[in-house]
Structure 1
Amino acid sequence: MSSILEGELAELVTDALTDANVPRDIVVTRTLPGNPYDPDGGSGGTADYVGKGWVENYADADRDGALIGISDVRVIILTTTIAIAPSEADSVTVGGETYQVINAARDASGALYELQARR
C-alpha cells in the first residue's frame, strides 16, 4: 500500500530543494545479472541511474564502528529524480566519490531515499 504522502509531497520537496540549489547529480550503479546460459558465464554488466540528492556526514555520536563505520556517509536521493529504488547491492557516486550502499530505505513521506554508504 502506498502512503497518502507520496506523489504530491515528493514533488513539492523536490521542487523546493531544487529551487534552493541543494541537490547534486548522483549516480546509482547497479550490477545486472548475467546470462545463465552463456558458457563463459558472461556478466550482465552494469547500468547507471542518475538522480538528484546530497551527502551528509553522520554525527560522531552515531558512529559506533559496528553499524555505522568511520567512513560511512548518508546519501539522500530525491525519489522523483531517479528511476529505481536503490538497494544494498548498488554503489553510488557523488562528486567523483564512489561508495558501496550498506543500507537503503525510503523515508515515511516517500519523498527521499536514505542510503548508508561506505568508502
Structure 2
Amino acid sequence: MRPYNKKLKQSSRDLRKNMTDAEQLLWQRIRRKQILGLQFYRQKPILNFIVDFYCPAASLVIECDGGQHYTKLGLEADQNRDHTLSELGLVTLRFTNHQILTELDVVVEQIYYVVRQRLESI
C-alpha cells in the first residue's frame, strides 16, 4: 500500500461522487478488471495527492487533465507531482479530457500497452 495523507479521505470520496464526464467515461472502460484482469482504483490518495486512477499491480497512475492543467502553474504543479510519484516507482499517464471524450479507444489501447509493458518489467 502506498503512503497517503488520511486527511484526504473525505476529499477523495467527494471527488468519486463528482467525477468529470471524461473520468466517468474512462472509468467505465477500466473498472472491474477489464484490462488484463487488474484492479484500478479511482480518486486514490497517494502521499498528499489524489490521483484520478491508480493500478497498484502495474504501479501506474492515470490522470485526466482539464484546461487548468495547461496553464503555467498547472504544468509546473503536474511536473512536480509526476516527479514525486516517480520517486515511489509510479509511472503517470496523462490524457486530456478532450482525448478521452473523442478518442476513448485509442486512450484505452495506450493504457493496455503501458500496463502490459509495466507488468513485463516488474
Indicate the structure with greater helix content: 2
Is this a same-fold pair by TM over 0.5?
A: no
- After TM superposition, the score normalised by the length of structure 2 is 0.26
Please identify the structure whose Cα radius of gyration is greater: 1
Indicate the structure with greater strand content: 1
* More RCO (CA 8 Å, sep 6+): 1
